[in-house]
Amino acid sequence: MLRLPCNYGVSSITKVKNGWHCLAGRKREGIISKHLVHRSLASSSLPIVDDIKTSHVHLNETVPSPVTYVHSSLSEGLISYPRGWAWQQSYLSQRLAALRNQPQNDSNHYVEDHDDDEQHPNHDRLLLFQHEPVYTLGRGADESHITFLQNDDERRHLLSRKVRGPGTARLTFDERASRMINQESNFKSRMTTIVDQMADAACPVLAPDGTPVFRVERGGEVTCHLPGQLVVYPLVNLRQSPFQQDLHWYLRMVEQVIIETLKVYDIEGTRDEEHTGVWVGEGKIAAVGVSSSRWITTHGFAINISPDLSLFDNSLIIPCGIEGRAVTSIERVLKDRSVSNKIPSLQQVATDTVKSFETIFGVHTKSGSVLN
C-alpha cells in the first residue's frame, strides 16, 4: 500500500471495493492502493479522497470515449453560482440514472451513433461559466477560514460540515428534482425548470458587501468566484477511455490543462508540492476542486483572468485555507511585465482552455447548447 497525505483538492462519493480509504480529519494520512496511482505521480505529494461511499466498479473496464459537448454561458454574461451548480447536478443526475438503467453486462457499452444527439446521457460535457461574486466552502473547508464571520457563531454554524437541510448555507439537490429530470420525455425543458427553481435558493450567509456564501460537495477549501474569472466544470466519466479510473491522475491532468493554457500567454504555471491548483511564483492563479459520483466528475477549476483580487483579501477569507500565500491573475502577471496590451479576453482564455483540454485528455469537442 502507498501512504499519502490527506488533502481536500479531491472529494468523491465513489469507493473501489478493497481499493482506497481516507481517514477522517485534516492532515491525517490516507491509504490508497498502488495500482490506483499513475506511476509518474507516485513520488509527488497528492491529495487523497474524502467522504467515500461504496460503489461496485471494476478497475480494468474502459469504454470508447464519447464526444465531449461544450456548454457555455459566457455570451449570456454572469450566472449565479446556484444556477451553475444546478446545471451540473442536473446533468449528473441524468447520467447516473442512465448508468443505473444499463444492464449489468452492458456497463461498458457506448453507441457512437449518439455523437450527434446532444441530449444523450452518455456524453461528457464541459460547462463554462463566469459567476456572479460568491464564496464557496468545499468538503475540507473550515468555517474559520471565512474570516469576516470569526465573531458570528450563528452564521458560522449555518456553514458547518455537519449542518444540512432548509435554512442552512449548504446547496442540496432535491431527490424530487432528480426524479423529474429523469422522466422519459422533454428532458431539456424539465431540466431548465429544475434549474430555475434551484437558482432561486436563498442564502442565509452573506459577506459584508452582500456576497453569498455556500457550502458545496466539491473537494477543496474556501474560494471565491467572481467576474473576470473563467470557471470550468468537466463532467466526464473516468471509466471511459481515454480517461483513467484514478481521481489523483485526473486532478494532475486538470492542472496540466491550466498550465498549457497559460503557456499561450507566455506565463509559466507550476504545481505546488503541498497544495492543489496552479501557481505563478508565490501567487495562486487557478484553483482546482473536484468531486465524483460513480466516477462521473463534477466541479472543476477556475482561472483568474482579470478579477477584482480584493475579494480574496484575508480580511474576508483565507483563500484555499492557505495562510501567507497571495492570489494572482493573468492580468496582474502581464501588467507586472508591462505588457498589459496583451491581456486576453475571458472568451479567448475559454477557447484556449477547451483546446488544452482536448490536447491533454485526447478528446474531441462539439459546441453544445448555451446554458443560461
Which helix (H) or strand (E) element contains residue 262? helix 247-263
Cα 305 to chain centroid distance, Å, stands at 18
Distance CA 64, CA 51 (A): 29
Asked if 298 contacts 224 with a C-beta cutoff of 8 angstroms, the reply is no
Asked if 302 contacts 277 with a C-beta cutoff of 8 angstroms, the reply is no
Joined together, the cell numbers standing for residue 179 give 426524479
320 is catalytic: yes
∠ CA 265-270-271, rounded to 5° = 145
Asked if 131 contacts 226 with a C-beta cutoff of 8 angstroms, the reply is yes
DSSP letters spanning 281-324: TTEEEEEEEEEEETTEEEEEEEEESS--GGGG-TTT--GGG-TT
What are the two backbone dihedrals, phi and then psi, of residue 137, each rounded to the nearest 5 degrees? -115, 130
Residues taking part in catalysis:
320
